[in-house]
Amino acid sequence: MANPHAETTATVEHGGAVEHAEPAAFGLITAPMFIGLAMLVVIAIIIAKKVPAAIGKALDSKIDVIRNQLAEAESLRKDAEKLKAEYEAKTKSADTEAASIVDRARHEAEAIVAQAKDNAEVLVERRQRMAEDKIAAEERAAVEQLRATAADAAREAAARIIRERVDAKADETLVADAIRSIGSR
């Protein structure tokens, strides 16, 4: 029951080397040809099922996603640069304001020191005047007291001299002279 279409392989011997014939299907299709045909069939199926188009669409959608991500990243980068510039400007403004505040505080401190110095000088002058006035008042009081004491001493000395030297007759003469001087006026 041999297959009339089946090929048989023969073994041929050549000078000690044995050579085998390659197996073939239907007498024409060898193993490499079979692999090639299988690949052509797979490629045809892939093309028929539109796999390259699906792969292309998938790649295109992936490219779109990546493009969108790049655009978003670019937008975020621009926003970050704007924020950076804004914060740098705020930092410069804050530095300028801080320097201004320090400068203003320095001027205010200098003004306060100058005012305190002027106030101290005015206070010293006023107290010096008060002390001088008090000393002058004490001097006047001492002079007045000295005058009063001198006047009292002079009065007492005059009274004592008058008592010792003036008697009743001299007293009458003095009173008469005083009355005459009043009447002549």
Rounded distance between C-alpha atoms, residue 172 and residue 167, angstroms: 9
Average model confidence (pLDDT) across the chain: 83
Contacts of 39 (CB under 8 A, 6+ apart): none
Question: In the structure encoding, which two tokens stand for residue 87, read together?
Answer: 């914060």
Please, are residues 24 and 32 in contact by the beta-carbon 8 Å criterion? no
Report residues of the chain scoring pLDDT below 70. 1-21, 25, 27, 185
pTM above 0.85, yes or no: no
Please, are residues 30 and 22 in contact by the beta-carbon 8 Å criterion? yes
The CA-based angle 11-13-18, given to 5 degrees, is 75
Is the torsion defined by CA of 70, 76, 82, 83 positive or negative?
negative
Dump pLDDT digits (tens) for 4-18: 444 444 444 555 566
